[in-house]
Amino acid sequence: MAGHTSSEILEIVARNQILNELDRHELGELCALGQVERYAKGGIIFDKGDPGDRLYAVLSGQVGINSISADGKELILNIMDPSEIFGEVAVLDGGERTAGAVAMQVTELLRIRRSEFLSFLERHPKLAIRLLFVLCDRLRRATDIIEDTVFLDIPRRLAKRLLSLMERHGEPCVEGIRITIKLSQEDLGHMLGATRESVNKGIRALQRFGAISYDGGHLIVRNVEQLEDLIDQ
Amino acid sequence: MAGHTSSEILEIVARNQILNELDRHELGELCALGQVERYAKGGIIFDKGDPGDRLYAVLSGQVGINSISADGKELILNIMDPSEIFGEVAVLDGGERTAGAVAMQVTELLRIRRSEFLSFLERHPKLAIRLLFVLCDRLRRATDIIEDTVFLDIPRRLAKRLLSLMERHGEPCVEGIRITIKLSQEDLGHMLGATRESVNKGIRALQRFGAISYDGGHLIVRNVEQLEDLIDQ
DNA sequence: CGCAGTCTGTGAATTACCTCACAGGAACGC
DNA sequence: GCGTTCCTGTGAGGTAATTCACAGACTGCG
């Protein structure tokens, strides 16, 4: 997947459930403001604390939104898929980046300059309403994460995360539902605020119960109800 | 503080740093859409999961935004002061309340019906832009909370929270800066995702260092630098 | 192929925090 | 005034999760 024509870009961005209610012509205009950029796996798109001078949309690949602690521990806050936008908070309020962004695979992004985006936003008030939805969605996720980390122990947090990964990145297969993105147990730990070892023990327990299984680097959810039962009680 | 005249209401709401750039006439019009409602200390404004049929602004008192776990533990996510709005997420995206809201003192609120607010919002696109700022602010706070609970131990989390309480609710006094809102150690625990006992031990340690002191129910920060030093290393 | 690097699996020791239990002080009502 | 209730203070014991240490499996890559 090398370059994209402008109509391909429009096609990808329009797949976004929240933006796709925008006028197609306006959306095309917005995409035309941006440039396509390519990142290798592991490439840093921006760091927490940077000035937020660009808004991004994922065209292909996957982007991890993360934060690094003072003593070097990583926390993965979110994973952004094709058609999703990210980096909107700093672009909108003019502050620093609240988190970092890293390409988790070879990734292509559409990036739009803050100044150009903001002037487009002023000319198209409807877009502001759509962005409110995006931010509400982010806020709901963030609140969920807070609740989970405060209230739930690691096995439960793991089970819950597997279910939500399944919903966003699952594809049916013979044994159950396969999670298409490849995550090491360390990555999972970084998503849960837990160590690799703890995640390993949780996964092994779920395997013994028959709730999940492993296919190479890919997790397969075999029994959704079992996972749900574990979470509450 | 019994009833408010409409100009008093406007005065309070206009104090909001984010909304005050709105046209004064428009803001008055918006306030006129609402009704004033009074809550006793401990009164429940809405619960997590309720339909989000109203937007609120605080006129006087204080509102705790909270969440209750399956086994009855409370988590206080935020404290809303006069001139601030809350309940906007569910009103904007039409979903359930992401958290509950409780009056922490005798409190007066201005409440606006979702339908009326949304139609006002469509007529006044500038308001949408202002709301984007509100949501960005919420998201920054939420991200900070996630990072703190994952990365920091309880003494550090406590120190950080005391500093942020100081910024939002501090007034200078003889010994240092007094936190004006009265919080029990249990409340503080609920804000940190920790038990009362752990908070107590943390507070006592900070007292011994001379970083803070107690004045009745009110905490006083005596040495900001000491608290900051504790947080990073 | 074989060797390096990454990922998984697992136990022992340590630790931070929670639970429980109890005691004293302050605040409030009547 | 005195009892009730809420808040603070503190220690002993239990536990979930971390740290550390090591071993085996798998994945390229020269």
| Digit-coded pLDDT (tens) for B204-219 | 999 999 999 998 789 9
Interval A81-108 mean pLDDT: 96
- Split at pLDDT 50, 70, 90, the class of B166 is very high
Rounded to 5 degrees, φ, ψ at A85 are -105, 155
Nearest residue on chain A to B99, alpha-carbon basis: A143
Which of residues 160 to 189 on B have a Cβ less than 7 angstroms from any strand D atom?
184-186
Which pLDDT score is estimated for B100? 97
Å between CA of A61 and C1' of D8 = 54
Selection from A94, A135, A148, A163 nearest residue B146 by Cα: A148
Segment B150-178 shows an average pLDDT of: 96
Q: Which of strand D's nucleotides are less than 7 A from any protein C-beta?
A: 6-12, 16-21, 26-27
Interchain contact, B132 vs A137, CB within 8 Å: no
In this predicted model, what pLDDT tens digit does every residue of A56-78 receive, in sequence order? 999 999 999 999 999 999 999 99
A150 token code pair: 């405060």
Confidence of residue B171 (pLDDT cuts 50, 70, 90): very high
CB atoms closer than 10 angstroms to residue A106 = 15
Number of residue pairs across A and B with CB atoms under 8 Å?
A: 110
Q: Can you spell out the DSSP letters for A95-106? A: -B-SSEEEESSS
pLDDT at A141: 97
HSE-CB at B231 with a 13 A cutoff on CA atoms is: 17
The residue whose two tokens read 């917005």 is: A30
Residue contact B128–A133, C-beta within 8 A? no
Tokens of B140: 């920054």
Nearest-Cα distance to chain A for B33, in Å, is 20
| B203 CB neighbours strand D below 7 A | yes
Residue nearest to nucleotide C20 (CA to C1'): B197
- Spacing of A2 CA from D29 C1' in Å: 26
**pLDDT at residue B26 in the model:** 85
- pLDDT reported for residue A26: 86
Look at strands B44-46 and B100-103 and give their pairing.
antiparallel
Q: How far apart are CA B77 and CA A93, in angstroms?
A: 22
Whether the beta carbon of A154 falls within 7 A of nucleic chain D: the reply is yes
Q: Which two tokens stand for residue A63?
A: 């982007």
Q: Which two tokens stand for residue B181?
A: 């809102």
Tens digit of each residue's pLDDT (9 = 90 or more) over B99-149 = 999 999 899 999 999 999 999 999 998 899 999 999 999 999 999 999 999
Render B20-69 in DSSP notation, one character per residue: GGS-HHHHHHHHHT-EEEEE-TT-EEE-TTSB--EEEEEEES-EEEEEE-
| Exposed/middle/buried for residue A174 (C-beta within 10 Å: 0-12, 13-18, 19+) | exposed
Is pLDDT above 80 for A182? yes
The CA-based diameter of chain B, rounded to the nearest angstrom, is: 57
Pairing of strands B85-86, B170-172: unpaired
Which range is least confidently modeled, A4-13, A179-188, A220-229, B58-67?
A4-13
Q: How confident is the model at residue A1, as a pLDDT?
A: 46
Assign A32 a pLDDT band (cuts: 50, 70, 90): very high
Phi, psi at A151, each rounded to 5°: -95, -30
Q: Distance, angstroms, CA B134 to C1' D21?
A: 49
Q: Which residue of B has its CA nearest to A148?
A: B69
**Would you mind telling me the total number of residues written for chain A in this entry?**
233
Neighbouring CB atoms inside 10 A of A136's CB total 24
Q: What is the mean pLDDT of residues B54-66?
A: 96
From the DSSP assignment, how many helices (H) and strands (E) are in chain B?
9, 12
Which of the residue ranges A74-78, A139-143, B6-10, B154-158 would you say has the lowest mean pLDDT?
B6-10
Specify the range with the lowest mean pLDDT, choosing from A28-32, A154-158, B113-117, B203-207: A28-32
Residue A18 has what pLDDT?
A: 75
Classify residue B41 by its DSSP letter: T
